[in-house]
């Protein structure tokens, strides 16, 4: 989406990312916004460092300067969102299935509770899977396969 | 305004709309503390699968050591005997010996300091004794320890690798591994140099990768149980 912007000298968040972080804060999910910001900064620092290590000037005109490209702000932000809103739900669902099968108890219920004798926590509401199908579809369409480095 | 610009704007507006919808349906995500726990339970379920695959019999137990159909895990690490925060566990029977599979348990390391083990297998006899005497199990009772990290960002941070090496020094045992949905080659080098192992890029997908992890775990457990 913005392949050239990751080589900028001064760190600056894209406007869309700023808006996204603001939305997350309003949704009481500021911690996810913070992680996105950290991840983008780390991605940018990796590129920045490579620019410093490989200065642009050179005695040999024909020497190829290694191009290091970050994932890009939008790819990083969407990857973080995918991990928390899609992957984590799948992980939780799979945990329950695997435990039930390994223990051999079809009625097994797995829950998470705060310290003390508090009520178990509702992590995802029962209709979360259906509700998340659209975000899952969008992210599958735009994100590279995990492990690849190509920006959007 | 160009067509590309307006389509990009529409894309991000849609993302925000979806997040707004989902945040109301995922109250657990409001707290950052929930995330690592869900992943720990997932990894624990992989260990349970591995145990089952080597012929172990597993029984879900509540904090009073009674059979249960509800496995309740705690949101914060705790002691094995704590009356208010004691969690469920899985009893393991294999080759006429018994063990317990726990999540988020505090155990005494070689230095005598308590450490939280995200997932661990300990001797059943020692566990029962510790519950009765209200003491923490020690590193000598541990058969397996797994450190779990589910991260939003794509690269596993080096400092977490260093932490794991420190934790590993407190527990001398064959199976000490770090499991994460992310990866980092430097952390791989660091951990393996210090006689630990890493299992990176383990998440619900791809399933084949989870199956490989379970197989590896089963082979390791066969050596120590």
State how far the Cα of B43 lies from the Cα of B213, in Å rounded to an integer: 10
Ranges of residues in chain B whose predicted pLDDT is under 50: none
Q: What is the ipTM of this complex?
A: 0.94
Query: What are B120's strand-pairing partners?
Result: B102, B145
A4: closest CA of chain B, how far (Å): 16
Is B22 in Cβ contact with A91 (below 8 Å)?
A: no
Contacts of B49 in chain A (CB under 8 A): 98, 101-102
Is B154 in Cβ contact with A71 (below 8 Å)?
A: yes
Interface test with B, best of A103, A105, A113 (most B CBs within 10 A): A103
**Any alpha helices (H) in chain A, and if so which ranges?**
15-26, 30-53, 73-82, 88-103, 128-131, 133-142
pLDDT confidence of residue B98:
98
Is A38 in Cβ contact with B153 (below 8 Å)?
A: yes
pLDDT confidence of residue B117:
97
Please give the structure tokens belonging to residue A107: 């009625």
pLDDT confidence of residue B76:
84
B90 lies within 8 A of chain A by CB? yes
Asked whether B156 and A83 are in contact (CB, 8 A), the reply is no
Query: What are B101's strand-pairing partners?
Result: B90, B121
Asked whether A106 and A100 are in contact (CB, 8 A), the reply is yes
pLDDT confidence of residue A150:
44
Using CA coordinates, name the residue in chain B closest to A128.
B25
pLDDT confidence of residue A9:
65
Is B69 in Cβ contact with A107 (below 8 Å)?
A: yes
Work out the burial of residue A15: count CB atoms within 10 Å of its CB; fewer than 13 is exposed, 13-18 middle, 19 or more buried: exposed
State how far the Cα of B179 lies from the Cα of B76, in Å rounded to an integer: 19
Find the largest Cα–Cα distance for chain A: 72
Query: What is the DSSP annotation of B186-211?
Result: HHHHHHHHTT-EEE-S-SSSSHHHHH
Contacts of A78 in chain B (CB under 8 A): 15
Task: For B125-159, write each residue's pLDDT tens digit.
Answer: 999 999 999 999 999 999 999 999 999 998 899 99
pLDDT confidence of residue A45:
84
State how far the Cα of A32 lies from the Cα of B29, in Å rounded to an integer: 9
Look at residues B116, B42, B58 and name the one whose alpha carbon lies nearest to residue B82.
Answer: B116
Is A94 in Cβ contact with B28 (below 8 Å)?
A: no
B89 lies within 8 A of chain A by CB? no
Tell me which DSSP letter residue B78 carries. Answer: B
Rounded to the nearest integer, the mean pLDDT of chain B is: 94
Ranges of residues in chain A whose predicted pLDDT is under 70: 1-9, 47-70, 116-117, 145-152
Contacts of B55 in chain A (CB under 8 A): none
pLDDT confidence of residue B154:
86
pLDDT confidence of residue A53:
52
Q: Report the relative pairing of strands B142-149 and B175-180 from DSSP bridges.
A: parallel
Is A36 in Cβ contact with B60 (below 8 Å)?
A: no
């Amino acid at each position: 989406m913005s392949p050239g912007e990751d080589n900028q000298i001064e760190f600056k968040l894209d406007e869309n990312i700023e808006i996204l972080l603001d939305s997350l804060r309003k949704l009481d999910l500021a911690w996810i916004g913070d992680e996105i910001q950290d991840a983008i900064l780390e991605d940018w620092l990796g590129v920045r460092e490579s620019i410093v290590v490989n200065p642009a000037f050179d005695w040999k005109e024909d020497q190829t300067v290694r191009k290091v490209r970050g994932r890009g702000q939008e790819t990083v932000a969407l990857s973080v969102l995918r991990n928390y809103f899609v992957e984590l739900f799948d992980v939780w669902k799979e945990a329950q299935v695997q435990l039930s099968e390994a223990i051999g108890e079809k009625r097994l219920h797995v829950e998470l509770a705060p310290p003390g004798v508090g009520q178990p926590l509702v992590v995802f509401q029962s209709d979360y899977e259906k509700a998340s199908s659209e975000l899952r579809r969008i992210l599958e369409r735009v994100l590279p396969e995990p492990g690849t480095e190509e920006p959007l | 305004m160009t067509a590309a610009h307006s389509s990009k704007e529409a894309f991000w507006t849609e993302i925000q709309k979806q997040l707004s919808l989902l945040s109301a349906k995922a109250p657990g995500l409001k707290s950052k503390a929930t995330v690592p726990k869900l992943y720990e339970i997932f990894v624990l379920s992989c260990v349970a699968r591995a145990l089952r695959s080597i012929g172990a019999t597993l029984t879900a137990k509540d904090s009073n050591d009674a059979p249960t159909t509800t496995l309740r895990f705690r949101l914060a690490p705790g002691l094995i005997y704590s009356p208010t925060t004691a969690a469920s566990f899985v009893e393991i029977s294999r080759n006429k010996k018994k063990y317990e599979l726990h999540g988020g348990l505090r155990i005494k390391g070689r230095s005598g300091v308590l450490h939280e083990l995200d997932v661990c297998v300990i001797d059943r006899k020692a566990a029962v004794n510790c519950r009765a005497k209200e003491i923490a199990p020690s590193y000598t009772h541990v058969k397996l320890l797994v450190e779990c990290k589910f991260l939003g960002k794509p690269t596993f941070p080096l400092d977490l690798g260093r932490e794991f090496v420190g934790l590993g020094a407190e527990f001398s045992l064959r199976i000490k591994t770090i499991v994460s949905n992310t990866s980092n080659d430097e952390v791989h080098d660091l951990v393996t140099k210090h006689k630990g192992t890493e299992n990176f890029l383990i998440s619900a997908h791809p399933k084949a990768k989870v199956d490989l992890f379970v197989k590896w775990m089963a082979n390791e457990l066969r050596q120590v149980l």
